[in-house]
């Protein structure tokens, strides 16, 4: 029983980390795209 509780907590933790990770990656990609659009305006037309 205790193992199941720990496993459930672990899944919740992984899920939360996953969401944070996706947000971080998203903002990094967005910043890179913004920077590239300043450096290479022709690419984004």
Q: What is the pLDDT of residues 9-18, one digit of tens each?
A: 889 999 999 9
Mean of all residue pLDDT scores within the chain: 82
pLDDT at position 8 is 85
Query: CA–CA distance from 22 to each of 11, 27, 32, 36, 43 (Å)?
Result: 16, 9, 15, 21, 25
Mean pLDDT of 33-40: 74
pLDDT at position 40 is 63
Q: pTM surpassing 0.85?
A: no
Task: Please say whether the beta carbons of 36 and 43 come within 8 A.
Answer: yes
Q: DSSP assignment, residue 43?
A: G
């Amino acid at each position: 029983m205790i193992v199941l509780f720990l496993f459930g907590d672990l899944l919740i933790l992984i899920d939360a980390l996953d969401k944070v990770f996706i947000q971080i990656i998203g903002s990094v990609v967005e910043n890179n795209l913004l920077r590239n659009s300043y450096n290479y305006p022709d690419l984004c037309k």
